[in-house]
Amino acid sequence: MAQEHATKVHKYFPQALPQSLVVEGAADLLHHRFTKESGDPGDILFASSICPDEINRDIEESTWCHGLGRPFTMGGLAGFPFSGKVGFGAYMAHVPDGGVLLIISASHVGIHSTEDKIGLIRRVGMHKDSHACGSAIAALEYCEKNVADIAEIAAGTKLPLDVSDLLNAQQNYVTQKVAQNYEAITGHGEKMVGLADTLAKVVEKDVNRILPENIPFPLAILSGVQINFEGETFSDDYFNPLSFKIIEKGQTHDLMPELLQYAGEHHGGHHDRKKEHKNKDKEEKQKKDKEKKDKHKKDKEKKEKETKK
């Protein structure tokens, strides 16, 4: 199954890699780059600017496994960082002493597990296909139906939802961004690939727009496209990395060559390592469950003794 998934992914995204491997590589490179004087790996505070669609949450399992912990969530529909400048300020305020910031920003697209379809997946428990990314595809469909008014949509004067209702703000924003990049999206040989690739770059631009001028900590940004599979026993999604950079002391450094080198050197064994992490997590859970059960038993026995007295 893993090979079938890889073949499908590489038809549309030749450079894509297993998502867990990309996260592992980014985390490992940063842990080593910022090793503490004690020899311990550097502390990383992770934030995600990805679509809230539940099929994207697998990335959080990968980040947890590789020591990145719980994410600070920046992303809204289609992955745009709707938490804004205020949200980024809060994120900065949470960084551990001497720590590093890592943002993963991404658009996403589904690939059907059993049919040759992109932009559609069969979600668990459903008998029909659904869109991924639904927000981005809805925005594109609106632009296609109103292509004569694309300039007005791009300017924000003709949008699909009531602009006076702030609850519509995210989808209207996504539609406007799709309109502003309509030619790049539709000019691609495969429209869904064009949509995902283009929005990934636009989302990264927006992430950069909310950054303050002075960042007192090293900040790494990994940008790309999440490629979702669903409903299979092999559930590892893919990630098409478009850029990986770090901003440190006002200087920006490209880490993509190091990330790709890491992926090339570790590709073969990453599934075994992922399995090891899962087994370790399972063992820790079983240990905690046993401790909880033993404590409950002791408390019960103690209560019974006290009752008899």
pLDDT in tens, 257-266: 999 999 998 8
Percent of the chain with pLDDT strictly greater than 70: 85
Contact between 192 and 109 (Cβ < 8 Å): yes
3-class DSSP assignment, residue 233: coil
Domain count, the chain: 1
What pLDDT, on the 0 to 100 scale, is given for residue 232?
46
Return the bridge partners of 101, or none.
Answer: 45, 219
The model carries a pTM of 0.82
Residue 127: per-residue pLDDT: 84
pLDDT at 234: 41
105 vs 31, more confident: 105
Question: What is the span of the domain harbouring residue 195?
Answer: 2-308
Q: Indicate the pLDDT class of residue 295, thresholds 50, 70 and 90.
A: confident
pLDDT, greater one: 3 or 253: 253
Q: For 192-232, what is each residue's pLDDT tens digit?
A: 999 999 999 999 999 999 999 889 999 999 999 999 987 54
CA distances from 224 to 173, 180, 254, 277 (A): 20, 20, 15, 24
- Calculate mean pLDDT across residues 247-275: 81
> Beta-carbon neighbour count of residue 209 at 10 Å?
11
Answer yes or no: is pLDDT of 251 > 60.
yes
Does the pLDDT at position 274 exceed 70?
no
pLDDT value of position 288? 61
Mean pLDDT taken over the chain: 86
Look up residue 292 and give its two tokens: 């909880």
What pLDDT, on the 0 to 100 scale, is given for residue 76? 96
pLDDT band at 233 (very low <50, low <70, confident <90, very high): very low
Q: What is the pLDDT of residues 21-62, one digit of tens each?
A: 999 999 999 988 888 766 677 788 999 999 999 888 888 776
Determine how many CB atoms are found less than 10 A away from the CB of residue 283. Answer: 10
Q: How many CB atoms lie within 10 A of CB 286?
A: 10
CA distance 227 to 190: 15
Query: Which amino acid, residue 3?
Result: Q
The predicted model gives 169-178 an average pLDDT of 97
Judged by average pLDDT, the poorest of 16-25, 75-84, 102-111, 294-303 is: 294-303
Query: pLDDT category, 169, cuts 50, 70, 90?
Result: very high
Q: Which of 165-179, 180-194, 270-284, 293-307 has the lowest mean pLDDT?
A: 270-284
- Residue of higher predicted confidence among 22 and 123: 22
Q: How far is it, in rounded angstroms, from Cα 83 to Cα 98?
A: 24
What is the structure's pLDDT at 280? 52
